[in-house]
Amino acid sequence: MTLRDASQGYGRRLVLQGLELELQPGITALLGPNGAGKSTLMRSLATIQPLRAGELTFDGEAVTSARAARRVRPRIGYLPQRFGFDPGMRVRDFVEYGAWLREVPRDERADLVGTALERVKLSDQERTKMSSLSGGMRQRAGIAWATVGDPSFIILDEPTVGLDPKQRLFFRQVLERLEDTTVLLSTHLIDDVSAIADRVVVLHDGEIRFAGTIDEMLERGDDSLPGDTPLERAYMGVLPDVERAL
């Protein structure tokens, strides 16, 4: 997935400006303050919101039209921060609906839905209504929805919100088992980044302030910066001075 000179916005307001970004197989953490444009970037990469300007390329195909977006969408799994569902829908039906949207062949659907539920340890809850799940279990159902059918590009917007520490550890294990998959993970939790991410992108005010490996980001920090860990201090070092005051 590649962005070239990409801009995005709402009405007359530009949120993203001239972005250059290339995402590779592995886990990329997307960091940035609230209002930085992270959700807008993810919606654009998911082809939900066409770019205002620039180019989006997926697996070598330029996504320049609604028809092209429909062609690539089955290979993209996207879990927004607040995802909707029919309260009366059972967990298995919810995940199966995701498989249908992703155009998973009907004769493969049941097995792949079962695999997705097993991946997040919800097989024993498949007949439970979504409205009856706890917040953490609902989030796990969302992760199953996003990963069913093994899409090659998975976008997760704050997926660990509502998960307790044990569930977060389990979530990390789920991601680590997604082989040959490009994952973009938006989070405010530096612990998640240091534990599972291969690369980091830091977005601020619609612009990319940093894109690189964890080790490259650590070089941007020092003990004079605020933060309790080297990676927190490196993150603060990437942001402009105005964001560093606590």
Residue ranges of the domains in the chain?
2-243
C-alpha span between 164 and 34 (Å, rounded):
22
pLDDT class of 6 with cuts at 50, 70, 90: very high
Higher pLDDT, 124 or 195: 124
State the pLDDT at residue 245. 61
The answer to whether the CB of 53 falls within 8 A of the CB of 168 is no
State the pLDDT at residue 35. 87
Residue 21 in this model has a pLDDT that exceeds 90: yes
CB atoms within 10 A of CB 228: 8
Shortest CA distance to 6 belongs to which of 66, 68, 77, 54? Answer: 54
State the pLDDT at residue 109. 94
Instruction: Tell me the three state secondary structure of residue 201.
Output: strand
Higher pLDDT, 136 or 212: 212
State the pLDDT at residue 178. 83
Homologous superfamily of domain range 2-243 = P-loop containing nucleotide triphosphate hydrolases (3.40.50.300)
Residue 243 in this model has a pLDDT that exceeds 80: no
Residue 67 in this model has a pLDDT that exceeds 80: yes
92-131 pLDDT, tens digit each: 999 999 999 999 999 999 999 999 999 999 999 999 999 9
pLDDT class of 244 with cuts at 50, 70, 90: low
